[in-house]
Structure 1
Amino acid sequence: MPELTTSLSDRTAVITGSAQGIGLEIARLLGSHGARVVLADMNGQKAEETATLLRADGIQAVPIECDVTDESAVDAVVDKAQREFDTLDIWVNNAGITRDASLRKMTLEDFRLVVDVHLTGTWLGVRAASAVMRERKAGSIVNISSISGKVGNLGQTNYSAAKAGIVGLTKAAAKELARSNVRVNAVQPGLILTDMTRAMPPEVFERMEASIPLERAGTPTEVAGAVLFLASDLSSYMTGGVIEVAGGRMM
């Protein structure tokens, strides 16, 4: 029976899409609780800058450029984590993009791109990370879904489909990996204060915020808190679960 604390001392965590935004805050919080973090991001230069920032706070951090839709690139992240830190204990599938448009105007290219980054990218991460974790008989994988995967969003048939798919992937993988003591869970953020939501028309943002029982948007750190819980031994008896971080919106 593990000691139930949030300590991640001597553990290595990979976070995809971690050069900025929610991914950065996940890396920062896991690192502040003792994890050594690998920052995997499409923007290699930005990942380097973020690693430098985290190191200044005393966090062991290494960057690596990674396109999560590229099988060999994802495998290279696993190799990097093991080469740098000798272990891989936590994997957070956070990388994502949006290409919003109405169903009538959305191109097939933009539909496929969003599904590929979110869903295929998450699948590749789960598969690569679990291959190592199976051997060690331990590990926690956290997939970032979205409340839009539960209820659907106007203009986001691609994003909503991908985020719903992540929930199904999470549950199926959790069933396969449970016998190896590898846990797989998901987090569904709602309206979170990021560069993407700040770019929304003010009236749209206000309308969405008004629908939230807690009467405010969330922060990236609040999403990171749920990830920390799932990554740590506090959630040692949880797998296949989905935690909503949405202020009660769409509950």
Structure 2
Amino acid sequence: MKALTKRLVEKPWGKDVLPSPFVAPEGMRIGEVWFEPPVEMPDILVKYIFTSEKLSVQVHPSDAQARELGEADRGKEECWLVIDAEPGAKLGVGFRKSLDSVTMRAAALDGSIEDMLAWHPVQAGDFFYIPAGTVHAIGAGVSLIEVQQNSDITYRLYDYGRPRELHLDKGLQVAKGQPHDPALRRNGCLGTTQRLAQGEYFVADAVAGIPSAALRAEYQGPCLVIPLRKNIGLGDIVLEPGDCGLAAGANAVNFDPAGNCLLVRPL
């Protein structure tokens, strides 16, 4: 039972004014807040992302694809829960219609791939699961929680002319040129109890108040607890919104009846 170490990461596309409860240190543009994965759950990474500019159009491989491409790291599946969004904020997830790799390469080279993405207007409470191979981009003005496989592999397909390396050959080998499955996204998830992510590597649940006995029974081993509203107790440890903690199981967590949180466990 412990609070995970928190690390603020500066990014050129980050923000100097963050949504509550976060505060950017004077003169810093914070793009991400990382929580050090505990040894009990080394394969899952939780972080907050804050954007003032559009992030690159990118894709991640699966574990099998990462091995085939000679990567030292595992692949990456991830999910996003939007906690704040400025007017007009959008997430690009999947394509508006199916396209082949030849078309995708040409679009990545001339920049039209940005317009081929399906851009979803977002607000707080929107959720997206991003399977490996899904081409995606986070737009400007978005603050979200990302739960992901603990992997650094990102293949950039387009970066708006910024002077960063692209990874077209590898990226096009793993990218799915198809629309995102609507079953993998939903709205209005804050303040509710529902299963958000049921992937191959982890499960994530939104919890409002005190979870049911059935849900607590599913979280009998090590799990991550992310308070969203009100504090949560882990024994003598108090987690506040903006924190992330490791619990021995849901029965070891002191939930607030008026609170909201995320629970995450490995598979």
TM-score by length of 1: 0.29
Higher strand share goes to which structure? 2
**Structure whose alpha-carbon radius of gyration is higher:** 2
